Each structure stands twice: as C-alpha cells, then as structure tokens.
Chain A
Amino acid sequence: MKYLSRAAIAALMTSAAIPAAAEECIAPANPGGGWDFTCRQVGRILTELGEVPNMVQVTNLSGAGGGVAYTHVVGDRNDDPEVFVAASSATTTRLAQNAFAGATADQVRWVGSIGGDPGVIVVANDAPYQNLNDLVEAVKADPSKVAFAGGSAVGGFDHLKVLMMLDKAGFTEARQVKYIGLDGGADAITQTVGGFAQAMTGDLSEITGFIRSGDVRPIAVLSEERVAGFDDVPTAKEQGVDIVAMNWRGVYVPKDISDERYNEWVEMLKKVGASEQWQSIMAENGLAPYDIFGAEFETFVADNIAQIQAVSKEIGLLK
C-alpha cells in the first residue's frame, strides 16, 4: 500500500515539476479556469505552428487572483526570456486596485490580446425591461429598486461593467448602485431567474446556455459590434450608451527581456491569433475577435487601468 501511494504521489508531482530551457506558460490559477485555458491553447498552437522547438510547459501558480504569479515573475524571473503569463481583464482590474501587494502594471511587458469575451447585461425573462434604456431609466428613477448580480466580488470586472455602463448613460451616483457579487456567472444567473436580483452582468460565454434556453433575456451586449451567433442581441452602443467591456484574453512577459525577444513574442502571439486553430477555438467558446498587440496593447493596458482607477475611487475602493 505504502509503495503504491508513494508511486501515485510521485506520478502526480512530476506533472508539477518544472524542466528548464523550454518555453513556459504560467497560468496564475488552478487547471480549468480561463487563464489555464489560455496557456494550454496558446501553448498547443505555438507547438503545432512550429514556433517553438518543443512542447510549451504549462505551470499553474495560483493565489491572490493572479498576484502570486505576478510577484513571482516581477521578483524572481524578471529577465527570463522563455516565460510568458496568461492575463485577462481581471489582471488589470486587480493591478489598478493595488491588489498585488504594491506591484504595478509597468513592472512587466504586455504582449497582446488575441480574443475577448464580450460583456452582457441580461434580465429575467418576465422582467419589465425591454431594452437597456428601460433598465437605465429604472435605475435613475430609484436605484434602490434595481439590484444587479454578477460573478465577481464588489470592485471586480462584472461590477465595474455596470458602473461604467451607468456612468456613460448619465447616472453618476456609483455608490447608490445595488450590486451583489456571487461566485461566478451561473450563480448570478440563478439569483436573477429566481427574482432576487433584477439584472445580471457577466461574460457572454458563461451564460449562452441560459440565453438560448430562454430563462433570461439579454438586453445589451457590451462589444463594438453584434456578436456572431447572437445577432438579435443589440449592442449598448446601438442603444446610445457608448460602452465596450470585453474580458480580453492575452499574455504578458517579464520586464527585463531584450526588445528583440519582446518583438518575437508579439510576432508569435500574432501568428497564434491568426491561426485557424485559434479561430475555431474562439467560435467554440463564445469568444469574439479582440486583437491588440505590442506597443498599442501597452497603451491599452495603461488606459484600461486609469479608467478602472477612476471608477474604483468613486465607489471608495481606492483613495
């Protein structure tokens, strides 16, 4: 028994061991989440395209919503040319709110984004709101009567989507907006269908099943254009509220690698984004195109963080 159990542990542990001298992708969460997905798919496509000589090693380094991986890269691997890290809106949100123990966004280099999960606002099927403006008017009339449910904690990306949307629509009393944070989009949906919350915000991919089953009715998608497969869902922009909130999927690399190496990463990521494999993965997983690379992406991240900081200050998360 003891030998068998030791053998089992040895087998399990080898999956976590880190061999040297190969491209490594750090997923700052446990297997199965969005970051892990980014690492595994990008890693696989890089290998299939022949961009890297061997398999990309995926390392799961979870903790503090990506903070453990971030400080690990900044502190210990700052000039490692072989490592890249999966990131998303959650990463910039936390950086903006200073949740990574003082680490800042300029301590790494942002390579690019190759896809995005569009934000969406849904209401229960029997709710009185027919479009985004109905909902906004209801909030303006009495913010205490409209509760939003979302899959992230207060101050997380789902909460910020609501606040930024209402801000653009002309309701600036961010502190009066009622929001309850749940553990993930599906949980937030059940609270909305059950009538406990009046509206729900989340990522489109999380809730496609509920939209198609008719349990909830989407009233706005927060992307530039309508999303393929959901052509009858109008964008917020069409309805006069100028907001785009995409949960982008991208990567960053350490700060002190050479410019040459950084440009190589950008080129490699561009090739992954343009590949057939990635296009079909996006279609299967409800992701929309959202390509930003290199210097442009660094600017995007900086703007994104400034915007989140402004909203966070309004609701008192930042001073």
Chain B
Amino acid sequence: MDILANLAMGFEIAASPYTLLLAVIGCFVGTIIGALPGLGPSNGVALLIPISFSMGLDAISALVLLTSVYYGAMYGGRISSILLNIPGDEPAMMTTLDGYPMARQGKAGEALVISGVASFVGAFLATIGLMIFAPYLAQVAFQFGPAEYFALYMLAFCTLGGIGSNNQAKAALAAAIGLAIAMIGMDQTTGMPRFTFGEMHLMDGVDFLVAIVGLFAVAEVFFFIETHGKDSAIGVKLGKILVPWRMLKDTTGAMLRGTGIGFVAGVLPGAGASLGSFLAYMAEKSSARDKSTFGKGNPRGVAAPEAGNNAAAGGALVPMLTLGVPGSGTTAVLLALLLTLNITPGPLLFTERPEVVWSLIAALLIANVVLLLMNVPMVKVFVHILSVPAWILLPGVTMVAFVGIYSLTGSSYDMLMMVGFGALGYIMRKLDIPTVPVILGILLGNAMEDNLRRAMVLSNGDWTFLFSTPIAIGLWIAALAGFLAPIFLRKVLKTPPLPETDPSLNED
C-alpha cells in the first residue's frame, strides 16, 4: 500500500489551510478563464505564472494554484459552450454539439450539472489512473513512432463523417479547409515557411484559439445580428433547476466510457484533450441506439465529451511527469512551470522527488473536489447569464473575445484574423457546413503531416512502413471500420463497431 502512504504524504504537504485557500481561488479564477472565449487553460496558466512568481509562492503552493487554474479552466470551458454555443476553450468544442441544443430547449441547468459531474468523474478517475499506472504507462509512449501517430490521427479524421451535419461530404470539406489552414507556417521537415507571404505573424502558423474564437464566438454574434436572436438560447425560459438524478443515472455509462477513451488519448503525447473529447463523443454516438438524437440535445452527447476531455487532461500529465513530454498545449505550460521551479520532469521524477509528485496528485484531487462543490451549486449563477439582455451580453462576449485573442501574442494581426474566421464561420453556417472539423484539422493537421513525413524520412520513402507494426495496423483497421461502418453497415447492424483502439482488432 505504498500508494496510500505516498498519497497521505502528498496530502500532508498540499492540504494546509493556505494552500486550500489558493486552491479555491485557483479553481474560481480557472473556471472563469475557461468560460471566457479566447482564454483557455493554456494561456490562463501562462498568464498566471508571472503572478505566482511575484506573489513569491514556494514550489508546492505555486503548483496547487496553477493546477487548480488548469482543472478549473477545463471545467469552465463547458459553460459558454452550453449557454452560448461558444466553446470557452478548444476541448470544450464537442460539448457545443449537444449542450447548446439542450440550452435552447430550456435545459441549460441540466446540461451544466451533467457536464459538471462528467468533468468530475473524468478528472477524478484520470487522477487515480495517473496515481496507479503512471510508471507503467510511460512505456506506452515508447511504442508510438511516426507511423503509429499518423494512423491515430487518421482514425480521428476517418470518424469525422456525419459530425453535426448529415452530409459527409460537407464534413470532409470542412476538415480539408482545416488541414489547409494547418499548412500555413514553418514546415518542420524542410525548415521552410509555407503560405506566409513574408508575413512574420504567420511563421508560427495560425493559432487554433484564433480560429476557434472566430469560427464560434464571432460567427455566433454575426448570426445573432441577422436573426435578431430568434434561434438563440438567450432569453429562453428556464425551468426550476433541480439536480437531474435520473439523467445523471442514464449518462453514467457515457461518462465512464468517455473517461476511458479520454484517458488513453491523454496518455499518448501529441493527442491531447481535444482528440480525447472528440473520440469520446464519436464513440458514444456510434454505439448509441438513438443516434439521430445526437446533435439535438442528447445528455449523453454532453456527458461523454466532457468526461473525455477532463480525463485526457489528467492522462496528459502521465507523459508530462514521467517523460517530460507534454501531451497537450496546457501541459506544455505546466511543464515550463515545473522547470522554472527547478523540478525537471523525467523518468526519475517519481523516485527522486516523490514529495513533488504526490503533492501534485493531492493538489489535483483537492482541486477536483473543490470544483465539483463549486460548480454544481454555481449552475444557478451561470444560467443567469442567459437572462442578461442580449444588447449587453453579446457586446461583452465580443469584447472578451478580442481581449483574449490580443493577450495571446499582443498583436492586432491575430484580431483581424479572428474577424476573418468569424466571416468564414458565418458563411459555413449559412451553407450548413459543420465548423468542428475545421478546428480539428487545424489542431491535428500539423502533427499528422509531420508524423507522416518523419515516417517517410525514417523508411527512406517506403510507404509500407506505415503498416509495419501491430499497433499501427490495429489503428488502421479501426480507422477503416470507423469510416466504412456508418456508410455500409448502418442498416445491417444496430450497433456498429466502436471506432477506438480495440486490442481484438490486432489479429493481422
């Protein structure tokens, strides 16, 4: 029972009244940062690092504060997704698909409670998974080379069909737009800038936050202006807010499945929380009997991606702590924080600095409980956002979006680009083309291309290298199944195979 003894040690260090206070503050600030479009977990944590320095916090207190902000932002992202159809951060993108329709039906409170509980389940179980399995899971990263990663990203794109739209070609078109945008910037395999037209702001590529805030927040504002808010959730009459026990019970399975998928996606460096929530949602949708209700306000479509993204956030800490490889943008910032505190994550961290690791884990557990206690009662406060008159709320959202994007790099260029994305988002909505695949393309496009080209460098251009290991073959089969199943098997089978890495598919 080493784990329990270690955990007790962690709590001893992390659970002083002062650090608990920091946790509460961090959770609150984090929730708000997460809910504001443009400010997500990664820039939230990045903005707070200098503050924690100027407050003169010691290593443990700084860790508690910033992990609370991190998890807080992961929880908070869902709030604006559900209420305004504007994801507060990129992993909360999938929550808009069913969360916003629920809000339009007057079920905003239920959606917020379910997603809050799902966030807790995902994050809590992932933290326990981190505690028990971290040293073993570190080995998984060694099994994933360029070919395996490429197959993993293919799996994500193959399951895209039919997301948020019934027209697969439109989803594919949107994904292609995203992939094209991802090509902008410095090419890692040749060191040459592409499609930058000599513009230095494009050298690092298009920041997905700029795209997401433009495509969702700005486009939403345009759309609202056109329709005078007829279809929006703002001003919808809300029922009395009670804890929807029945709905929670019905979505337990979705939460647990989402947690499992999200955690695995998080553990793989380079996949991250967005892929976790995406795969969790697609798996839940394709295994459901009532597929047609997804995208129209199915509570399970809220529970699965929220559990998935929070579990992935926990899972991403595994490669970050054991290998020093950040699994997502936010863990990259946390990694930087650890380095500035003179803590070097790596294979020896668990044995050399157990006090750091276990107090971090204790801090995560504390933050989670604080967040659950804070979030569920606060649903009542959050839903009041919808009673704010639109002429105050929408200018406010627009302002926050501009401030958030400006804070990314401090350049007005990003803000102009954001407005451009807003126009694109508006046109796409008019044509009924889903915008989620665009973001997915921007998020994963670079990594997918880099891995393909690394694979080609390693194999001297031999394409069979992509199918040379059992893991890669398994992922390809899953991808193929995910792509073909909805097309051919829809009528034959009631429940098509799960588009995830099923070990039983590894027979080849």
B146 near A: Cβ within 8 Å? yes
Decide if B333 is an interface residue (CB 8 Å cutoff): yes
Closest to B42 in A: A30
Report the nearest B residue to A9, measured CB to CB.
B403
Interface check B239, CB cutoff 8 A: no
B46 beta carbon closer than 8 Å to chain A? yes
Query: B381's closest neighbor in chain A, by CB?
Result: A1
Could you list 15 examples of A-B contacts with CB < 8 Å? A1-B384, A16-B47, A30-B46, A31-B46, A63-B200, A63-B201, A67-B203, A97-B191, A153-B191, A155-B190, A189-B323, A190-B269, A190-B323, A194-B144, A209-B349
Docked CA distance A55–B53 (Å): 13
Chain B residues whose CB sits within 8 angstroms of the CB of A62 once the complex forms? 409
Given known A-B contacts A65-B203, A190-B269, A155 and B324 have beta carbons under 8 A apart: no
Instruction: Give the nearest-CB partner of A145 in chain B.
Output: B460
Chain B interface: which of A46-54, A178-186, A289-297? A178-186
Q: Are A58 and B50 in contact (CB under 8 A)?
A: yes
A136 an interface residue at 8 Å Cβ cutoff? Answer: no
B450: min CB distance to chain A, Å: 8
Binding site for B on A (CB under 8 A): 1-2, 4-5, 8-9, 11-13, 15-16, 30-33, 36-37, 40, 58, 61-65, 67-68, 71, 97, 99-101, 144, 147, 153-156, 159, 178-187, 189-191, 193-197, 206-210, 212-213, 215, 284-285, 317
B36 touches A9 (CB 8 A): yes
B193 within 8 A of A: yes
Which A residues are CB-close (under 8 A) to B337?
Answer: 32
Q: Which residues on B are within 8 Å of A, measured CB to CB?
A: 29, 32-33, 35-36, 39, 46-51, 53, 141-146, 186-193, 198, 200-201, 203-204, 269-270, 323-326, 333, 335-337, 339-340, 342, 344-349, 381-382, 384-385, 388, 392, 396, 400, 403, 407, 409-411, 450, 454, 457-458, 460
The answer to whether A99 touches B193 (Cβ under 8 A) is: yes
Residues of A within 8 A of B336 (CB): 30-33, 36
A182 to B453, CA, bound (A): 11
- B381 lies within 8 A of A190 (CB): no
Question: Assuming the A-B contacts A1-B384, A99-B193, A210-B347, are A63 and B203 also in contact, with contact meaning beta carbons closer than 8 angstroms in the complex?
Answer: yes
Residues of A within 8 A of B346 (CB): 186, 207-210, 213
What chain A residues lie within 8 Å of B454 (beta carbons)? 180-182
Q: A12-B48, A181-B450 are in contact. List 15 more A-B contacts (CB 8 A).
A: A1-B381, A1-B382, A1-B385, A2-B392, A5-B35, A16-B47, A16-B407, A32-B49, A40-B53, A63-B200, A153-B187, A154-B191, A209-B347, A210-B346, A284-B342
Specify which of A5, A97, A206 lies most central, judged by the most chain B CB atoms within 10 Å of its CB.
A5
Complex Cα gap A153–B189 (Å): 6
Q: B204–A64 contact, CB under 8 A?
A: yes
Contact partner of B33 (CB less than 8 A), chosen from A8, A16, A31, is A8
Nearest B residue to A102, CB-CB: B198
B349-A2 in contact (CB<8A): no
Most buried by B among A61, A182, A284: A182
| B347 and A196 contact, CB distance less than 8 A | no
Among A1, A61, A101, A155, contact of B191 (Cβ-Cβ < 8 Å): A155
Q: How far is the CA of A37 from the CA of B410 in the complex (A)?
A: 20
**In the complex, what distance in Å separates the CA atom of A183 from the CA atom of B270?**
10
**Cβ contacts under 8 Å, A147 to chain B:** 457-458
Bound complex: CA of A183 vs CA of B388, how far in Å?
A: 44
Q: Are B51 and A196 in contact (CB under 8 A)?
A: no
Chain B residues whose CB sits within 8 angstroms of the CB of A97 once the complex forms: 191
Q: State whether B50 touches A190 (Cβ < 8 A).
A: no
Q: Given contacts A40-B53, A209-B348, are A32 and B189 in contact (CB under 8 A)?
A: no
Measured between beta carbons, the chain B residues less than 8 angstroms from A15 are: 47, 50-51
Number of residue pairs spanning A and B whose beta carbons lie under 8 angstroms apart: 166
- Is the pair B460, A63 in contact by a Cβ cutoff of 8 Å? no
In the assembly, what is the distance between CA of A215 and CA of B323, in Å?
Answer: 11
Whole-angstrom CA separation of A185 from B344 in the bound complex: 13
Establish whether residues B204 and A63, one from each chain, have CB atoms under 8 Å apart when the complex forms.
Answer: yes
Nearest CB of A to B23, in Å: 17
Partner of B409, one of A37, A63, A197: A63
Say yes or no: A63-B325 contact (C-beta < 8 A), given A1-B385, A5-B32, A8-B33.
no
Do the beta carbons of A179 and B457 come within 8 Å of each other?
Answer: yes
Contact of A285 among B342, B345, B349 (CB under 8 A): B342
Question: In the complex, A97→B186 CA distance in Å?
Answer: 13
Question: Within 8 Å CB of B48, what residues of A?
Answer: 12
The residue among A144, A189, A195 with the most chain B CB atoms within 10 A of its own CB is A189
Complex contact B458–A212 (CB within 8 A):
no
Nearest chain B CB to A144 CB, angstrom units = 5
Q: Are the C-beta atoms of B32 and A8 separated by less than 8 Å?
A: yes
In the assembly, what is the distance between CA of A186 and CA of B245, in Å? 45
What residues of chain B lie closer than 8 Å to A285, measured between beta carbons?
Answer: 342
Assembly CA distance A194 to B147 (angstroms): 12
| A99: min CB distance to chain B, Å | 7
Q: How far is the CA of A289 from the CA of B382 in the complex (A)?
A: 54
B192 and A317 form a contact (CB under 8 A)? yes
Across the interface, do A197 and B201 meet the contact criterion of CB distance under 8 Å?
A: no
Among A9, A154, A183, the residue within 8 A (CB) of B189 is A154
Chain A minimum-CB-distance residue to B349: A209
Q: Report the Cα distance A259→B382, complex, angstroms.
A: 59
- The CA-CA distance from A140 to B415 in the complex, in Å, is 51
- Asked if A190 and B191 sit within 8 Å, CB to CB, the answer is no
CB distance from A266 to the nearest CB of B (A): 27
Complex contact B46–A32 (CB within 8 A) = yes
Query: With a CB–CB cut-off of 8 A, which chain B residues contact A181?
Result: 188-189, 450, 454
Cα A254 to Cα B203 with chains together (Å): 23
Bound CA–CA A8/B193 (angstroms):
37
Residues of A within 8 A of B144 (CB): 194
- CB-CB under 8 A from A33, the residues of chain B are 336
Q: Which of B143, B188, B396, B411 interacts with A2 by CB under 8 Å?
A: B396
Chain A residues near B143 (CB, 8 Å)?
194
Chain A residue at minimum C-beta to C-beta distance from B385: A1
Given known contacts A9-B36, A68-B200, A178-B457, is B339 in contact with A32 (CB within 8 Å)? yes
The answer to whether A64 and B142 have CB atoms under 8 Å apart is no
B residues in contact with A100, CB < 8 Å: 200
Query: What A residues does B396 contact at CB under 8 A?
Result: 2
A208 to B339, CA, bound (A): 13
* Chain A residues with CB below 8 A from B193, complex form: 99
Contact partners of B33 in chain A: CB under 8 A:
8
